Structure 1
Amino acid sequence: MNGLVDLAPLTRLMLMGAIVALGPIAWLWLRSRNASAAQRLSRLTLLTLFLTFDLVLFGAFTRLTDSGLGCPDWPGCYANATPAGAHEQISAAQATMPTGPVTHTKAWIEMVHRYLATGVGVLILTLAAGTWALRRRAALPVDPWWPTATLAWVCLQGAFGALTVTMKLFPAIVTLHLLGGMVLLALLCRQAVAYRQAETGARPAALSGGRFALLAATVAALWIQVALGGWVSTNYAVLACSQFPSCQGSWWPPMDFRQAFELWRPLGLTGAGEHVSFAALTAIHYVHRLAAYVVLGLLLALAWRLRDALPRQARLLGLLALWQLASGLSNVVLGWPLAAALAHTGGAAALVVVLTWALCESRPAGARAAGRSAALARGEGVPS
């Protein structure tokens, strides 16, 4: 582990991240010179959400091009801030294994991912610092603890990024790293919605108990499905089934669920050091596929039920459900092409954002009335 972690280039890596973040901050400042401080924070939140979405996609690109170990140490590349400084070491590794995990192209992909991640971290730090600085001087719709929690989470996400390298693409760690990126999207979306509601005066839509329960169930099912999808990708189980809707010419192919969901093990091996069987990879793939049917049904039902209360979110949910179906099928029948794999990851990330948006823009129909009754019972005044 000590040979894999060298903090010497950390300062230079942080400087690279600050340079990456400086561009969006300068662009936003120029476009928002006449805006209030709260409006600038609102726009910076949206911009950070957009760039975090891009970062999730680039992280998928890094994984799918097998570039996760392009620089086999952390945080630099052979203790250098850029692959240019590690030219000799990368060339030696590439000469030994021309198609191996370390090549000049893969090293640059991995380091660009780290630069972008550090840049997003700087933007989130700016959001947290700006929110706390304005807390006493302005009425902000976002509690400063939200951006603070986001900052803490991005630091945790950085730690998982380091473990991804030092633990040699350990499937559980890589899957948690993917889930961490999705949580960042949800946290930033929550803050963006709060700013929007304050600027427009919009109130959350009241949903009947059944519709709100369907929304909550869909959110929960999506997170489970994202975890299952990450498990498929990090175990390279996509091609275990190359047919649809059957798998290996059967509706219930041979599967080994015990091996498939042994979570704490190295890539390609069981905890006992044996190679993961093809039946286990089949089980990983097929469980994800079966869960996809459930999530697809929930998304389409939710889109239909929300068409009046939350029409924009409903339309997006319907479109994204079809997008995920098409991109998932393309991965199977076309042999996991890079474009389809990225499209599927992007669709999952977009669903996380849209469902978080819908959740923040809604409330159970009786929630406001219940709150008003409780306040009156305590003898408190309730504004009309």
Structure 2
Amino acid sequence: MTLHKKLITFTLCWTMLVIILGAYTRLTDAGLGCPDWPGCYGFLKVPHKAEKMEIAAARFPERPLEHHKAWNEMIHRYLAGTLGLLIGALFVIYWRQQKRLTALPTALLGIVIFQATLGAWTVTMGLLPIVVLAHLLFGFILFSLLAVFWLQQHPSWRNTEQHLRPLLPLAYAALIVVFLQIALGGWTAANYAALACIDLPLCEAGWSSRLAFAEAFDLHLGHDDYEYGVMSQDARATIHVLHRLGAVITFSVVAWFAWRLYRVAQTQLMQRLAQAIALVLLVQFTLGVLNIVLHLPLANAVAHNFVGANLLMLLVIACYQIRKPQGREV
């Protein structure tokens, strides 16, 4: 394996780590552990000495320093910054090899720069839900495109079955449904609605008479701080119910696609891809149910986020494999 391929593999694994730690940071309510950016209370690392802590308290009297939250946030920033450097290195290496700009490395560089901007806005805008959601979605998109980039460098992993192209519309449908469901899940999390309903299968008695669609999808601009949410309970329950209904639709569409792909595919490679999609889908659905039954345990919630990212990535790979067989590049 060449150094370039090793670097892509390492960057892909590093992105997984950033996604996991990003979810952990949000779920431990550490998104504003450092109320400024890119430092922490005006320092490059979390202040611990008494004199620095006094300075931090004077700078942000409204947000007392909590070391565990601050370190969660800063470690995530360090890892995300390193990811930016890794993708920058990939871009430069690929550009020097190809002697021209190509779409995918350029897109990866652009997305990681935009991700850094979203990361800054997440803090400076006080966890504004639409910014938090965008940060989540572009992180997942970055992960998926990195997986495609890795696939392009490994021809032995490429699909050779031309006859799978009729499955492409269903593959796209599954991808879109999963993306929308992730967006709805991200909106649920960003508005602290994950525990708005704790009964199964949908919500507590009388939920249908309390739906508040207008408030549930209002951006609620103008607040200084969105930590712990600004929506009413009815609006949060509305988002939560829609996310549950979306889970059923997503499970049905993706399961159907995985089944069709498995039945039509003739190579072990594509059959295993179908099996992987089905397995990850089942795990994700189970984790979602456990989030409700167990009242959002931290490890389970982090896993739900990470498995969702992998489900999206696998469907992006499936679409790419079906659309571009025989190793043809974008």
TM-score, normalised relative to structure 2? 0.88
Higher relative contact order, structure no. (Cα contacts within 8 Å, ≥ 6 residues apart): 2
Q: Does 1:243 align with 2:203?
A: no
Give ranges in structure 1 of 5+ residues lacking alignment.
Answer: 1-34, 137-141, 369-384
| CA-CA distance at 1:264 after TM superposition | 4.8
Q: 1:113 maps to what in 2?
A: 76
Name the CA distance, whole Å, in 2 between partners of 1:209 and 1:101: 57
Equivalent AA in structure 2 for residue 69 of structure 1: L
| CA-CA distance at 1:84 after TM superposition | 3.1
Judge conservation of contact 1:150–1:184 (CA < 8 Å) in 2.
yes
Judge conservation of contact 1:70–1:109 (CA < 8 Å) in 2.
yes
Q: 1:49 maps to what in 2?
A: 12
Of structures 1 and 2, the larger Rg is shown by 1
Q: Does 1:324 align with 2:284?
A: yes
Q: 1:376 maps to what in 2?
A: none
Q: Does 1:193 align with 2:151?
A: yes
Instruction: After superposing the two structures, state which structure 1 stretch, 334-343 or 241-250, moved more.
Output: 241-250
Judge conservation of contact 2:46–2:74 (CA < 8 Å) in 1.
yes
Choose from 22, 34, 57 the match for 1:59.
22
Instruction: After superposing the two structures, state which structure 1 stretch, 183-192 or 170-179, moved more.
Output: 183-192
Residues 65-84 of structure 1 aligned to structure 2 (within 5 Å): 65-84=28-47
Equivalent AA in structure 2 for residue 228 of structure 1: L
| CA-CA distance at 1:286 after TM superposition | 0.7
Give ranges in structure 2 of 5+ residues lacking alignment.
Answer: none
Residues 9-48 of structure 1 aligned to structure 2 (within 5 Å): 35=1, 39-48=2-11
Judge conservation of contact 2:11–2:87 (CA < 8 Å) in 1.
yes
Choose from 176, 182, 189 the match for 2:134.
176
Judge conservation of contact 2:104–2:145 (CA < 8 Å) in 1.
yes
Judge conservation of contact 2:108–2:146 (CA < 8 Å) in 1.
yes
Choose from 149, 162, 168 the match for 2:120.
162
Secondary structure of 1:84's counterpart equals coil
Name the CA distance, whole Å, in 2 between partners of 1:353 and 1:90: 44
Choose from 282, 299, 313 the match for 2:237.
282
Choose from 128, 133, 140 the match for 2:91.
128
Q: 1:312 maps to what in 2?
A: 272
| CA-CA distance at 1:281 after TM superposition | 0.5
Equivalent AA in structure 2 for residue 173 of structure 1: V
Q: Does 1:341 align with 2:301?
A: yes
Alpha-carbon deviations, 1:217-276, whole Å to 9, x = none?
A: 000111111110000001010111101113103573521000000135367999xxx952
Name the CA distance, whole Å, in 1 between partners of 2:172 and 2:200: 30
CA RMSD, 1 decimal: 2.7
Equivalent AA in structure 2 for residue 119 of structure 1: T
Judge conservation of contact 1:78–1:89 (CA < 8 Å) in 2.
no
Name the CA distance, whole Å, in 1 between partners of 2:262 and 2:223: 44
| CA-CA distance at 1:208 after TM superposition | 4.6
| CA-CA distance at 1:364 after TM superposition | 8.3
Q: Does 1:357 align with 2:317?
A: yes
| CA-CA distance at 1:207 after TM superposition | 4.5
Over 3 Å counting, the alpha-carbon distance change for 1:66 and 1:134 in structure 2 is: same
Name the CA distance, whole Å, in 2 between partners of 1:154 and 1:47: 16
Name the CA distance, whole Å, in 2 between partners of 1:201 and 1:230: 31
Q: Does 1:265 align with 2:221?
A: yes
Name the CA distance, whole Å, in 1 between partners of 2:309 and 2:157: 28
Percent pairwise identity: 38
Equivalent AA in structure 2 for residue 288 of structure 1: H
Alpha-carbon deviations, 1:97-128, whole Å to 9, x = none?
A: 8xx77401111110000000000001001100
Q: Does 1:225 align with 2:190?
A: no
Q: 1:150 maps to what in 2?
A: 108
Name the CA distance, whole Å, in 1 between partners of 2:41 and 2:275: 48
Q: Does 1:213 align with 2:169?
A: yes
Name the CA distance, whole Å, in 2 between partners of 1:341 and 1:90: 35
Secondary structure of 1:252's counterpart equals helix
Name the CA distance, whole Å, in 2 between partners of 1:40 and 1:246: 50
